[in-house]
Structure 1
């Protein structure tokens, strides 16, 4: 049973008139019918107007409207056909019914919108007027209590937006299971904000290092067979993510879709492939073009999927760095990417997972020996019978060199015990022997890496943008350290976007007005000055 009448003022007047003499009842179905009954032109159908509309009954009594209005949920339930001007335009209703999706809050479950739609759909059309329904949870405070102004725990949306922006708030909510209640958290909002910054920096990398090329995915597609293993892995991961995100969205699991995208951009792109790409972009012209076009293709397809979750950030990225002449005026008008299943390579993705497991073991071995990640090491030996890991060792040489900071990685037999100083770690695919002997050459390479990092920190402190603003650099250091660093000067210049780098012995060699910091690098006192080159 559904009590559809309400004794209120605002609402849809129930179209029932009753004779005050004989009790006859008439139900009217349209404004036109009411005008014919009353002989009046009617512009307003609100209660205070229609209550005054009467006519004579056959018994000479007066037909007056019953005073009630319809339950507002009746109005809501009629939305699917009333909004399409049914019954005047029945063909339009048949075209749109059933609707794809209805969403409603958990507090409305007992008598909410989708129940009202269901009742009227079955009563009037003998069918359900929608295909899918999602019930979302409520926002609670950090202690799990309902938010109320009276409790003092209500956080205004504009306060959140003014601090972190709309997209960070959307990211915080979109990453949570939608049908569960969400506990509000400033800390998690801050974390969402950081993730968006990582996404922004990934796209900024493309703009800084690849914008000088004509970015065209056809260059990638026609060179598929000759792509490096890391490139083929990225291509496969991208197409798999596109497929999985679509499936999650179709299953009404948007939080899982969004978290898949975040994991892909932050872990696969930012923390892995972008680091490899930096090295690749120092190679041949043809290699640089292919890597740049691959990144553009991957990032553009990813940007379209991120757009529903982060509409403002993605639109700005699209307009500033991704939109091409043939593209629509907004990212939100782009077609959703179709997965290219023929590019998904299960084998190379399995090999990359094995490579990641080895990288994790290398990091554990470094930590055990108290050797920082920036310190290059000569070799890592892996005792394994795992065929997947063996193939990974042969394929991902550049990955181990950059991410593991190890010059040589090779497999050895299970019964082999190498001689020397090793940090040993057992992991699920075998046993790692990490050579931790620090020769003078290895020590010098680590010191050069430290100097690179310190110069980058100084650039960041001055707000200098990579690829745009160049610097001159001077380093004051003792003669022993100078001899160690001299072979690396050229590579440091390239890595820190410097025009020149000079190793000096006297302060008089350094011009005035430079930004200076002094550093302690494993007991070595080194002073660094940098100066932005003025464009002119």
Structure 2
């Protein structure tokens, strides 16, 4: 084992701590040792198996990524430290559009066609592989700096042949069960990326935009009225083939300004309001079903040649249940080529599925007046054309959600094409039943995911791209016979050739003979949806390592964690594939984490320029401060504002804990205290010692229980508030004078033993949240105090204290004493009294009955912490008190006498002590350094304070010499307008 210095310098630096610990971990292989031992040496222990949501290898880690990584690591570490047998395999999402687009940026590619024309498919795929390798290495660097401990050496990669075989297995099983099919239908499409997308991808890329809200007239054929239709996509009117009405709704024919319009009666008032028309002449009413079959003149017949001869069944009124009466006119313009519902309606009525729009988003020559236009740009031209003919009733703008490509941000189109689909609708109930096996953190995650699953549509699983898992589907060009392969071995056997790389373009060279007609079978030229890749991680991750035998042990996984949006993404595809492959849920518990917002509460995005990269955050604050902020600030599932000041404030707790350890080590070394005598020294513990030990035990229980429920905010608050508020601000303040006793007193040994015990038990739990500081402080205590330690704090186990040192009665007594201290300090503040000016006498009336020894300890504690010269514990209210203060629990504090000359002088002595201690700190002296002090003051009051309390000042400041006289250098202070010059010198 390679050692380090583990000193505790006065100038605390998180950079130095993290650098030294990181070097120690790396040189000694600590991460690998901890994870290997946790799996190989803990057979028979409770299992914790973690399923990694694989980061996409197409960019660098940002603060939002870091938040999720931190939570994952905390959960893994907690189970490591609790003695679980832990499986923590890393994973990387290495294929699909995200990777391809990153490579496209490198080459300045703006469309899919340019890949083939400028780069070539083979080279493009090789560049994708190089890009993946680069980003994996960069992510590992950031993970290691963030102290995220996963098994990176055996991490799964979705591009690995053994891994992607599981996608093939899923598709083959789906095909065998009649759940995989090819169909021509309208699907979401990214015109820039040149591929179809799935409905769950659609939900991931919705953006709020402003679009036209067009109310337009459509002339009824052989009638004198107009249908009033409404749309927010005027460009689709070019491909209009029907008007849809609600069959059960009431429609009314009205006359406005000399023209007759047909509108849903329920929406008439809102339209009249928009037109600033107060009243109309209602001519007649119709049920929607009475309008079905009526013909109309295409509104763009003159502009688009193909629309000139639009005749039945096209350009007629059809019935559709999806026509709502909440907005618009109750008459929906229908373009079967540009909407799933429109397509289904068109199929039912035999409508033409026609569009002059090309799959790249531009209109072709057959679009007539709109040829060559980008589809979004056509909106304006269509409105102008309709207005020119007097067919625009009203044109506004509306703010609404419009689907955009979840990877490149391009507005999507609905477009007809032949694709492969997984019949998700056939297994909805099976998925819902499987979901009942899963616990959600937070609980509302279940209803959100169950709702999504319940509304599932069939999954368009094919993508017209290059770098991805090739669909293992061969189809006969002659008779249409289809064969799906479930493994590379199956394909090699059928083709009679070895397949070195199952990716494009090599796999496309395989041509099979059709067993049915003898024709040629070629592979369907698609790759799989990238969500299918990560969606089989529950099985493929082990298959890649040839560890399928472990599947029954590891599966279903104990825990997976991602943002709530993955209810419609990774969590969803995991559930689909697991239901097919294994008939159950792949995860026992799903955790969800919120977003990282900027300091103004805005969502971070590259377009806004407000994204904080993980490296920048760690460079500014350090990994541990960032980790503690993410855990402590909010519940994991709430959004967090990234505010530098708050990170520094919360991270400041680590500096305080560092100083607690330095306090122990400095004084224990000075007194040559040995932890080997721990049990003997714990026999001398007092009430306040037992209080902090009992409190520690409760905190360990509370923190672990909260962490089990993924309430990491409560778990971290319990621990770090205890270490800062109870241990540093209360316990050490209460007992610090013990360590200044020069001789080897039992109470001093008890203090060291208590502090040591609290820290030794707290640091393993602290290692889950802030591992750098926990490791550094653990090693510092071990090496400086000379006890037998583990190679790493991560090899310890979180444990509670034995019952013998716990004291619930003593805890209650001390808690009441601290309440009394708080009450006295609040009284001081209300009277404007300085903290260092003693109150002469206080009486405390407690509800509890105390022994004489307990009274003495409580009185000493209150006297020291509240700066009271004399404290009496009484059984009844005293006479002649200045003020009475009630405290929680029924006890009371009585201020008997505030001050006299003696307390005034003691107060000035304490003010002098404060100034000398400040000078010690500025001189960066160690706790055990002795000093000589010289003071010069014209103030008779200060001279008297020095004379009366010389010994007290010397003991508090570790001064071997204290002289009052002429001082020419040093530093001048003012205390209540009384001047004093102080000079110190290290002995």
* TM-score, normalisation: structure 2: 0.50
Matched residue, 2:621: 164
Matched residue, 1:147: 604
* Pair 13,456 (structure 1): closer, same or farther in 2 beyond 3 Å: same
Task: Give per-residue Cα distances to partners, 1:300-342, cap 9 Å, x unaligned.
Answer: 2111111121122222222333356632222222222245456
1:397 lines up with 2:859 in the alignment? yes
**Residue of structure 2 aligned with 1:248, choices 691, 701, 706:** 706
**Residue of structure 2 aligned with 1:365, choices 789, 808, 827:** 827
* Pair 503,306 (structure 1): closer, same or farther in 2 beyond 3 Å: same
Matched residue, 2:836: 374
Alpha-carbon distance in 1 for matches of 2:587, 2:850: 50
* Pair 500,411 (structure 1): closer, same or farther in 2 beyond 3 Å: closer
Deviation of 1:215 after TM superposition, in Å, equals 5.8
Task: Give per-residue Cα distances to partners, 1:159-212, cap 9 Å, x unaligned.
Answer: 332222221111111112101111121221121232221121111111211134
| CA-based RMSD | 2.6
**Residue of structure 2 aligned with 1:517, choices 946, 963, 971:** 971
**Residue of structure 2 aligned with 1:264, choices 712, 719, 722:** 722
* Pair 169,88 (structure 1): closer, same or farther in 2 beyond 3 Å: closer
Q: Specify every segment of 5 or more residues in structure 2 that has no aligned partner in the other structure, as ranges.
A: 1-423, 425-458
Alpha-carbon distance in 2 for matches of 1:389, 1:154: 59
Task: Give per-residue Cα distances to partners, 1:425-453, cap 9 Å, x unaligned.
Answer: 34343442223442332222211111110
Alpha-carbon distance in 1 for matches of 2:709, 2:950: 55
What SS is found at the alignment partner of 2:612? coil
What SS is found at the alignment partner of 1:51? helix
Alpha-carbon distance in 1 for matches of 2:728, 2:524: 67
Of 242-251 and 437-446, more deviation after overlay is shown by 437-446
Matched residue, 1:301: 761
Matched residue, 2:794: 332
* 8 A Cα contact 1:366 1:372, kept in partner: yes
Matched residue, 2:92: none
What SS is found at the alignment partner of 1:168? helix
Residue correspondence of structure 1 range 111-510 to structure 2 within 5 A = 111=569, 113-175=570-632, 176-212=634-670, 219-222=677-680, 226-283=684-741, 284-285=743-744, 286-322=746-782, 326-338=788-800, 340=802, 343-383=805-845, 386-387=847-848, 393=855, 395-412=857-874, 416-418=878-880, 422-428=882-888, 429-467=890-928, 469-478=929-938, 481-504=942-965, 506-507=966-967
Alpha-carbon distance in 2 for matches of 1:333, 1:413: 51
Deviation of 1:264 after TM superposition, in Å, equals 0.3
* TM-score, normalisation: structure 1: 0.90
Q: Specify every segment of 5 or more residues in structure 1 that has no aligned partner in the other structure, as ranges.
A: none
Of 388-397 and 312-321, more deviation after overlay is shown by 388-397
* 8 A Cα contact 2:684 2:750, kept in partner: no
Of 212-221 and 249-258, more deviation after overlay is shown by 212-221
Q: Which has the larger radius of gyration?
A: 2
* 8 A Cα contact 1:517 1:529, kept in partner: yes
* Pair 92,155 (structure 1): closer, same or farther in 2 beyond 3 Å: closer
Aligned length, in residue pairs? 521
* Pair 532,215 (structure 1): closer, same or farther in 2 beyond 3 Å: closer
Matched residue, 1:30: 487
Task: Give per-residue Cα distances to partners, 1:329-373, cap 9 Å, x unaligned.
Answer: 222222222454564433222222221221111112222333212
* Pair 389,49 (structure 1): closer, same or farther in 2 beyond 3 Å: farther
* 8 A Cα contact 1:366 1:423, kept in partner: no
Considering Cα pairs closer than 8 Å and 6+ residues apart, tell me whether 1 or 2 has the greater RCO: 2
Task: Give per-residue Cα distances to partners, 1:397-447, cap 9 Å, x unaligned.
Answer: 33112111123322446564325xx24434343442223442332222211
* 8 A Cα contact 2:842 2:870, kept in partner: yes
Task: Give per-residue Cα distances to partners, 1:222-259, cap 9 Å, x unaligned.
Answer: 56564200011111011111111111111111111101
Alpha-carbon distance in 1 for matches of 2:484, 2:544: 18
Alpha-carbon distance in 2 for matches of 1:87, 1:212: 54
What SS is found at the alignment partner of 1:102? strand
* 8 A Cα contact 2:682 2:750, kept in partner: no
What SS is found at the alignment partner of 2:533? helix
